[in-house]
Structure 1
């Protein structure tokens, strides 16, 4: 693979039902960058990541990964990791961790395998049917990162990890981008201890990119401006963005003043509630 740049040009994407998923997305992320993809639920982050990974077909000439269309060419070296893995019944079966790691090339990359097992604190005696979702997530990350990748796309993948495991994992990714030519895009809502990690930010709202660029291009609030909420500087910046998004979007349907809400089970379920 050539230099792992990510370029998106005038990308508009509609779902099969005709609804718009993304509108006029434009990005240019350099090789070696670590990008945080920020936005409220439903902003379009997952749709964008799946298009970048080639799991969905984008309109021609709108996405370029290392100079190639990821859907048309089925690029080697592009890894996408999302939340759906732990829902797969296979990973809840009585399977040993060494067997899973061997199935994805663990014997070919023993040093990398051993490093990931140590960094993610994976117990090689685990059997997947008898561990927690967080422990399954660690195994998924070991499997997904075992083969050296050039572009890594992460969709809320650290949500099940404890603080230490998440920290060690993100430091591993940082070292990867500093030691070899590779690129990371990470969608997350968890911003704790991330202020020094990204090189770039992308802010999405309602299927559009509202802001993007290198970290130095953003006016990050001073440390003391988090006030009594005690937010990090990065957290305070993103919190402001999300508040702007909510004001622009307005209330969801059914949230009008004085609206009566019926439960999903009908009047005999949770009952009705009047808001206002």
Structure 2
């Protein structure tokens, strides 16, 4: 399966502190990827490495099989940074004109149509737009390049719920029409549940989990049974545990069939899975081989 973004043992260090360590992942073409993790986990660093804004301290980064700064890559990438840097004194129309001048293959018609569809006035200055409107302009600029891979760093973090919904709707409309690959960084898992089909989970500057979401969920179960100080669950790996006076609840990674009738096995939701792995905030990355060829 073709990898659109690949990292092999990648690390990024600032002086004595590692923002990212031992990062190995392979994202297949055509996926909508949720890049999740707590603040400070290394999400922005990973995206900046992918677009070539940073160079890795260790390891290799490949986008479309090339180094991120390669001319084979630049025209095929779109990026929306968290702070959405735009010229506030420019009108929206002037902003699109700048995009046209800077980007070969620029699609002016679709950029204007996209902004008109979401009600962003082209004659208005960027500094007078609402936060949601500025986010839509940043998205239109990124998509006007006609990228094959779009990277977004917490693009809706400062938006109200309606603006967030409108942004996500516009993004998914583009994905459905063009088959665009997307890596979307967020620490709000509930926003990604209906949006993404692939997950990369960062915690403590390391990749803790990665792969297509459905196989990841199928590989885990929530087990409930009588309260035990040292529960015995055979070959399965306990990811997290909680207890009441009478009941023990375990989230486990399956390593075979569930044979003990004392345990009730329940399916795991995406948010449950992410929170369980985020609670393991130290130690080496968990590497989970999946039947569809994904790895973590």
Q: TM-score range by the shorter chain?
A: 0.7 to 0.9
SS in 2 for 1:20: strand
Partner of 2:13: 14
1:96 aligns with 2:132: no
Higher strand share: 2
Give TM-score scaled by structure 2 length: 0.68
**Structure 1 205/141 Cα, relative in aligned 2: closer, same or farther at 3 Å?**
same
SS in 2 for 1:62: strand
2:115 to 107, 114, 117: 117
Structure 2, unpaired ranges of 5+: 222-267, 284-296
The whole-number CA distance in structure 1 between the counterparts of 2:106 and 2:35 is 32
Shift of 1:119: 4.5
**Structure 1 140/210 Cα, relative in aligned 2: closer, same or farther at 3 Å?**
same
The whole-number CA distance in structure 2 between the counterparts of 1:115 and 1:194 is 26
Partner of 1:235: 271
The whole-number CA distance in structure 2 between the counterparts of 1:60 and 1:184 is 25
Count of equivalent residues: 232
**Structure 1 119/29 Cα, relative in aligned 2: closer, same or farther at 3 Å?**
farther
Mapping for residues 254-269 of structure 1, pairs under 5 Å: none
1:47 to 12, 32, 45: 45
**Structure 1 233/123 Cα, relative in aligned 2: closer, same or farther at 3 Å?**
farther
**Structure 1 162/146 Cα, relative in aligned 2: closer, same or farther at 3 Å?**
farther
Shift of 1:140: 1.9
Contact 2:3 2:27 in 1 (8 A): no
Partner of 1:70: 68
**Structure 1 175/136 Cα, relative in aligned 2: closer, same or farther at 3 Å?**
closer
**Structure 1 12/199 Cα, relative in aligned 2: closer, same or farther at 3 Å?**
same
Partner of 1:228: none
The whole-number CA distance in structure 2 between the counterparts of 1:64 and 1:22 is 16
**Structure 1 175/85 Cα, relative in aligned 2: closer, same or farther at 3 Å?**
closer
Shift of 1:184: 0.9
Higher helix share: 1
SS in 1 for 2:189: coil
Per-residue CA distance 1:155-185 (angstroms, 9 max, x = gap): 1111233434433433443344444453211
**Structure 1 123/152 Cα, relative in aligned 2: closer, same or farther at 3 Å?**
same
Structure 1, unpaired ranges of 5+: 223-231, 250-276
**Structure 1 193/59 Cα, relative in aligned 2: closer, same or farther at 3 Å?**
closer
**Structure 1 108/25 Cα, relative in aligned 2: closer, same or farther at 3 Å?**
closer
Shift of 1:193: 4.6
2:100 to 79, 99, 105: 105
The whole-number CA distance in structure 2 between the counterparts of 1:133 and 1:165 is 8
Shift of 1:43: 0.5
The whole-number CA distance in structure 1 between the counterparts of 2:3 and 2:141 is 21
